[in-house]
Each structure stands twice: as structure tokens, then as C-alpha cells.
């Protein structure tokens, strides 16, 4: 990724999708939105991507690494892949609309 110039393609790949969980839906009432992001992304890239895609400047961005989990699938052991999620905090009047 370039330092001064960020391209449309590089910013669109930073936010994979919105993370829809019970906890995330409770946080969205407080202007906190949760996204799945690549493991190598940082807070600055995530903030620029939100600003570029939704035209809203976030107040702050927190990131959380999600560990891999061992699961049983049809009687066989497996691994549920981990990842990284980003919590994006917005100003009181701002809102992100998902279609």
C-alpha cells in the first residue's frame, strides 16, 4: 500500500464485511459499528476505508484479534479459522446505512 496515495481498490479490500452478531447490534445503538478486516490491516487503513466508502470520519478505531477455535464437525475434529475485527466509533449524529 502506498503511503501518500491510497487507491480505490486498496481501500475497498480493507473492510471485508459487516460483522452481524448480537453484541454488534447492541453496540450499533451507541454509534459503534463492527467489521471483519484482514489480519494485516491497521487502524489508520481501516479509518481511511470507512471515510472513503461511507463518507463519514470515525472518531476512533479499535481492533481485536480473534483466535482460532477447535471444533467438531460431523464427528471429526476441525479448526474454525480466526481473524480480526474492527470496532469503528462515530460521532453522535453520524450513522452508517447498510442496504
Q: Provide the residue-wise pLDDT of the chain in tens; the chain has 99 residues.
A: 444 555 665 777 899 989 888 998 888 888 999 999 999 999 999 999 999 999 999 999 999 999 999 999 999 999 999 999 999 999 998 888 877
The conformation of residue 57, written as its DSSP 8-state character, comes to -
CA dihedral sign, ordered 98, 36, 27, 79: positive
Cα distance between residue 64 and residue 18, in whole Å? 14
36, 63 in Cβ contact below 8 A? Answer: no
Judge whether 17 lies within some domain.
yes
pLDDT of residue 9: 58
Give the CATH number of the domain where residue 59 resides.
Answer: 3.30.70.330
pLDDT of residue 2: 47
pLDDT of residue 85: 96
Judge whether 2 lies within some domain.
no
Question: Residue 15 is part of which domain span?
Answer: 8-89
Q: How many domains does the chain have?
A: 1
68, 80 in Cβ contact below 8 A? Answer: yes
pTM above 0.85, yes or no: no
Amino acid at each position: 500500500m502506498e503511503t501518500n496515495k491510497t487507491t480505490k481498490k486498496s481501500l475497498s479490500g480493507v473492510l471485508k464485511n459487516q460483522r452481524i452478531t448480537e453484541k454488534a447490534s447492541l453496540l450499533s445503538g451507541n454509534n459503534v459499528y463492527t467489521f471483519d478486516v484482514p489480519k494485516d490491516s491497521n487502524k489508520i487503513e481501516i479509518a481511511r476505508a470507512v471515510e472513503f466508502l461511507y463518507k463519514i470520519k470515525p472518531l476512533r478505531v479499535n481492533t481485536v484479534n480473534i483466535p482460532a477455535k477447535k471444533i467438531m464437525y460431523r464427528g471429526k475434529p476441525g479448526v474454525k479459522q480466526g481473524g480480526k475485527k474492527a470496532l469503528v466509533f462515530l460521532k453522535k449524529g453520524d450513522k452508517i446505512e447498510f442496504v
